[in-house]
Structure 1
């Protein structure tokens, strides 16, 4: 298995070179670059869709400098990924969540394969010693904002909404896509 390093946000538009302002919406893409990945970030004005050869892209927002992210615990994300397996209508959300978990190194991509015309990601979670099969269901454009809200709800919810039971090592909040 190979782990790939994916660079952090460049904070600049790949087309204009302009630095992103706090709160500004921009788009990021991953392109194969030899034996690694190259990340490019595009301002909303410069975005005309993903470039040819791109393997993933997402819409995001430049955080304010004083804004500190509070990520959900890995266990919450894993449980949500597992719960979504039984919900075929949420396959696109599960795929996006898995990509995010790969980026955060909660999951490792072991292989991709085609099965009945669909790309399947096989990922491994060292924390639980479990492997998962994730169909690559790219969300339609009209569902992207909904998925973004659901992910933000899961990943950056208020501290009052996210409580951990130390006896069970599970979070008490629910997967937002349920």
Structure 2
């Protein structure tokens, strides 16, 4: 299983190299690289002017070094990441989506319906709470250690406690 390059906000715009100052808003993003998904940060000015190609993104504010870090990612953001991964076939992204599904089930945003076999693949049918149409998630049969590692990596990428 591949690891992602996960970094905390470094206070620097990946597009320009300009310092992002404490208290300043910026865009955090996941970018597809040859090594997998990598987190990068962009200043608002760069983001609005250049519209960098990213896999997904969120807007945040750089905390001061002495400020207690807020750990919050909205359920809507998690659902957006989950939906964005819906058509992916890369094993790393299937694993990422499966763990996001587990997180969203724990948050009661997804409910398990059934399991079906698609050849040798086990596919879970889930329902988004409040919606009629099911969504499917491939169960990659990760062990507890792999799930814990991926959950930790997702939390680090999004700066959240999952």
Q: TM-score range by the shorter chain?
A: 0.3 to 0.5
Which structure's residues are more often helix, by fraction? 2
Q: Normalising by the residue count of structure 2, what TM-score does the alignment of the two structures yield?
A: 0.45
Q: Normalising by the residue count of structure 1, what TM-score does the alignment of the two structures yield?
A: 0.42
